[in-house]
Chain A
C-alpha cells in the first residue's frame, strides 16, 4: 500500500479482555517495528521484526504482550488480560532496510487503545 496501515484506529475494551492490533506495512518493507506512546511522552520501543522473525523483543513489558508476523508482511500485536495501564497509542513503523540504523522509518497513524 501507499503507507503503513493500522487497524483498528480506536479500540475500547474492558479490563481483563484480549485485544489484537493489526499493522500492514509498506509493500516490500522487510523491517517492522511496534512502539507504544503514552500521552505527552515519546514513543517507546516494543518489538522489531526482520522478515518473519522477531529480531529484538526487549521492549515488550511482560508476557501478556506478544506479536507475530507469520508471512513477513502483516503483523499483529496481541495483548492478553488487558490492564488500565495498557491504555496508550500503539504505533507501527516499517523500513525498507534491515534495522533502524540504516534507513528511514515510516509510521502509521496508530491504534488508540483504551482499557476501562
Chain B
C-alpha cells in the first residue's frame, strides 16, 4: 500500500527566504506526482505535475523535483511572499488514483 509522508508538518519563515518542502513515498512504481496548494476552507489547486519519466518541473518561483528510485520529491519556493502562505500537499498516482500526504502548513511572515 502506497504511503506518502510530508516533512515538516508546519513551517514558518520570514518573507523573502527560499525554502524547500519534502515529500517521500514508499512505492516507487508511480505514474506521476503532483503538488497542490490548499488555502483555508478551500479546495485544492494544482501547482505542478511531474510525470514519472521526468526529473523536475518549474512554474514561476516554484520548482519541483522527483527522484523516483529513492521515493522522494521536493518543492522549492524561491523568494517567498506572504501570499504563499497555505498548506502544500504532495500526491502520487498509480494508474487510477492519487494518494496524498498530510501536507505542510506554510506561513510566510511579512
Contact = CB atoms under 8 A, between A and B. Distances in A.
A104 interface: yes
A100 to B, nearest CB: 4
Contacts, number: 71
Given A41-B102, A43-B100, A55-B96, A100 B31 contact: yes
A80 B100 CA distance: 26
Q: Which A-B residue pairs are the 8 nearest by beta carbons?
A: A101-B31, A42-B100, A100-B93, A107-B44, A109-B43, A107-B43, A101-B95, A101-B93
Interface string A84-104: 000000010100000111101
Interface of B: 4, 6, 30-32, 34, 36, 41-46, 49, 89, 91, 93-103
B100 A44 contact: yes
Contacts of A99: 31, 93, 95-96
